[in-house]
Amino acid sequence: MCDQTFLVNVFGSCDKCFKQRALRPVFKKSQQLSYCSVCAEIMATDGLHENETLATLKSEAESLKGKLEEERAKLHDVELHQVAERVEALGQFVMKTRRTLKGHGNKVLCMDWCKDKRRIVSSSQDGKVIVWDSFTTNKEHAVTMPCTWVMACAYAPSGCAIACGGLDNKCSVYPLTFDKNESMAAKKKSVAMHTNYLSACSFTNSDMQILTASGDGTCALWDVESGQLLQSFHGHGADVLCLDLAPSETGNTFVSGGCDKKSMVWDMRSGQCVQAFETHESDVNSVRYYPSGDAFASGSDDATCRLYDLRADREVAIYSKESIIFGASSVDFSLSGRLLFAGYNDYTINVWDVLKGARVSILFGHENRVSTLRVSPDGTAFCSGSWDHTLRVWA
Amino acid sequence: MSSREAFGCDIGQARRAVEQLRMEAGIDRIKVSKAATDLLQFCTEQAKSDPFLVGIPAATNPFKEKKPCAIL
């Protein structure tokens, strides 16, 4: 769905020499400035060692990449599914659609559960964001965004607000009110500003901070109250499509996946990328942490889902079948991490045994691509959203 | 292959790439056998509390239908 973003040629006055030139974005201590190409080169060559040229740096980068692969391969003594042979196989699963949420006028793009395990927020291509009670299928709130393609939405931990955004390049927070006299749109707060579409957003442990991912290739951490940018994360070479925060016990990191086929793990305090994985053959559409926080799974347009262990620093499992040729758009784990639910562009949901690597079940029901999938906070059900305009709750 | 080339090949970017790779190459890693065993252990410990694995009776699962009741 995402088109390639091209570098925009901006003409204007350079922030350093003030001459009227073609400008490029340049980052100095996480602050974005616009330099002309001459000043950008001067800044980059400041403090360069005598023999460092572009060529020597590139060859050093290549040799470091080789060394990284070697180090990772040294510890690859066994496969996960071999270790998992001693675990009991899973029995048959009977999972059915228990609720169908109808009401969106166009493709459902994103959804999130509330911590109360019953409310769901979903957003759609038609610009509407709806809050549902999944037990009764009633709609509790509805907001119309000023843009179409609302690609990201999230529920606040308190359950009192939702965040959403998409082609408007912003992430806005709406407090949820049951007061009939108040319009939700009136209390809207614009928090994040990116230079391209918003692809994903998530509240951190509190209602006060939001993490966003964007088609402009960056992720950012914002303070909700003031709208201030707290930290930005640069490193992806193309649109960032997804992100997931580490489970709270394991600290301040998050993982992001992008159109550059990479999944990157970031330290939220320093803004640094601490680990990067590039084994997918196409865009990474969805990333999700394993419940223990020591691993994460990713789903990609290359029709595979993969599991990466953070302490072993490598991919440890691939979930794929020759018969599956459509991309995986969304993945999530069951509470114990034994099951991986993945929604695909061929309208199905596949359930994988994470440890043994085998498919356990295939679920039919949606009449178009499955675009989003989340397991409920207590693990009793999961919800999938699709381009067929509906959401389904499965248990 | 390098997507870092996609945004222009200037020296500043190459230097940052080299520094990033140096840092990534230097982190502490554990063997896959140990990592896999830990994943397994977590799974088996948590399996008892995973509703999808253990199964909740229809009566307590808010999404499953309760037994039909006859209206007399």
The tokens for A194 are 């990116």
Q: Among A115, A209, A113, A212, which residue's Cα sits nearest to residue A158?
A: A115
User: What interface predicted TM-score (ipTM) does this complex get?
Assistant: 0.81
- Rounded to whole angstroms, how far apart are CA atoms A199 and A243? 9
- Tens of pLDDT, residue by residue over A275-297, are 999 999 999 999 999 999 999 99
Residue A152 phi/psi, 5-degree rounding, is -135, 140
* Contact partners, residue A346, CB within 8 Å, separation at least 6: A324, A325, A326, A369
Band (A17; pLDDT cuts 50, 70, 90): confident
Among chain B residues, CA nearest to A26: B12
Residue A22, CB-side half-sphere exposure with 13 Å CA sphere:
4
Contact residues, chain A, for B44 at CB < 8 Å = 87
Q: Are A171 and A198 in contact (CB under 8 A)?
A: yes
Among chain B residues, CA nearest to A92: B53
Task: Note the pLDDT of residue A46.
Answer: 66
Helices within A75-140 (DSSP H only): 80-83
What's the order of all strands across the beta sheet hosting A382-386?
A97-102, A390-394, A382-386, A370-375
Return the amino acid letter for A116. Answer: D
- Rounded to whole angstroms, how far apart are CA atoms A161 and A207? 8
Q: Which residue in the block uniquely carries the two structure tokens 């079948």?
A: A321
Q: Which residue in the block uniquely carries the two structure tokens 């896999």?
A: B36
Question: At A148, is the secondary structure helix, strand, or coil?
Answer: coil
Range A94-394: architecture per CATH: 7 Propeller (2.130)
Among chain B residues, CA nearest to A67: B25
CB contact under 8 A, A260 and B6: yes
CB contact under 8 A, B39 and A295: yes
- Tens of pLDDT, residue by residue over A164-211, are 999 999 999 999 987 766 777 888 999 999 999 999 999 998 899 999
Task: Note the pLDDT of residue B55.
Answer: 79
Which of B1, B2, B11 to mutate to probe the A interface, most A CBs <10 Å?
B11
Interface A–B counts its CB contacts (< 8 A) at 190
Q: Which residues of chain A form CATH 2.130.10.10? A: 94-394
Q: Are A325 and A337 in contact (CB under 8 A)?
A: no
Task: Note the pLDDT of residue A1.
Answer: 38
Per-residue pLDDT of chain B (72 residues; tens, 9 = 90+): 333 333 445 777 788 888 888 888 888 899 999 999 999 999 999 999 999 988 777 777 888 776 555 566
Contact residues, chain B, for A118 at CB < 8 Å = 62
Among chain A residues, CA nearest to B4: A237
CB contact under 8 A, B21 and A65: yes
CB contact under 8 A, B53 and A45: no
